[in-house]
Structure 1
Amino acid sequence: MLTRKQHELVCFINDRLTETGVSPSFEEMKEALELKSKSGVHRLISALEERQFIRRLPNRARALEVLRMPERAEKKRATSPSPVTRRQLGQLPQPANDVIEIPLHGRIAAGVPIEAFEGATTLAVPAALLGQGDHYALEVAGDSMVEAGILDGDYALVKRQDVARDGEIVVALIDDAEATLKYFRREGAMIRLDPANRAYDPQRYAPAQVRIQGKLSGILRRYN
């Protein structure tokens, strides 16, 4: 049995495919279901895939196929559109590009800090992995964040900001020279950067030594 939001989403996707032949964007689905973020859309799509109501077509952006409809929806569709379609009719936003190119700025340590360098390359990222704000990517080097699910070779997707709250995973620039990816914590008059690997010790610095370069907003992993 589907949840209400899952039911609304599969009906909305099916309606758009019927009307236009093109599946809706993540932004359109977020607005239609009145969700706060695209990550909620991603979770709903994954759940519908697991239940074999929809599938993503490989090597194509914005390509979803409805495999089957919920039983109740099939009985109702002959007489009325889905609640989502009625509410959003004439109010749908313009289609959004589901893949965003963001700057890729070299490598960042998830172990002992290493130099982070600027680069001219970009990384294509699904829009659902990014929220509001300006983002960039860094390639992860090292294994000190493995217990947080961050592995060597992953791409850290970082929202640019210069402040952080305790417990957030941040990109911290040490002495204006080296950058590292760690949990941020305040410890008395010091800044403590915690790894997520018991084989590594926390790093402690005076506040003047540490500049926050951004907060982790997602991880992108490629499989070769």
Structure 2
Amino acid sequence: MGEGCYWNWYKTYIEHDRGINNYFGLYGTLFHETIEKLMKNELFEWDIKQEITTGMRNFEFKAPFPAMGKSYEESIHRFFDDGSYEQIFSQYKVLESEEEKIFDVGNVKVKGFPDLVANHDKYGFVIADYKTAKKYEGDKLDHNLMQLYLYSIPIKEKYGKYPDHLVYIFPREKGQKEFAYPFEIEKLERTKEWVIDTVAKIEQHTDWKPRCEMVDGKRDFFANQLCNSRCNCIYK
């Protein structure tokens, strides 16, 4: 959503202007939809290769660099061809997938679609998410995990308990692709505070400083090439 750019957040979630997509957004959607179809028996293993090839051929946007596009295409095929998909998902007993959740955090209304809620052979009751980026680490991991902590709110309401673990699956990683993080109630409370504080800052903010101007003295790649508001940002 343009982390650090309140203007893009305001456009997307207050004005409901989602702007335009990009190659990586389309790629992530294709991966999610392929998984969902497999789980619902709407797609079978012998159809996966053609499904992905056709899907990527019809992308409205191309990768920023040809070599990058080739790498991404090879990695998604590899995930389904080399046994990674079967090995990982054989451990899950699926309870729900991509179901809409609408819930409150303080006076903030939140909507989301958890990729997967399941019982895992090793990690117990989990909320899992598929990410086609590189594996998150450090501050980026802590920041992005807040999404799964938010999903734990409606999941607790439905199932009567919080998850044992929050799980990320990174299909483009070589080697280990599945990473589990123990659920901590303190981090959920900090996430709630962050949401309330962030929305308050956005609603009160008047001096917008968009991320696309400069980040550490350099033009920001995401904001200038991938941001969904990149073509209609009045501050750029």
TM-score category (smaller protein): under 0.3
- Kindly indicate whether structure 1 or structure 2 has the higher relative contact order, using CA contacts under 8 Å at least 6 residues apart: 2
The structure with the largest strand share of the pair is: 1
Given the two structures, how large is their TM-score scaled by the length of structure 1? 0.23
The structure with the largest helix share of the pair is: 2
Larger radius of gyration: 1
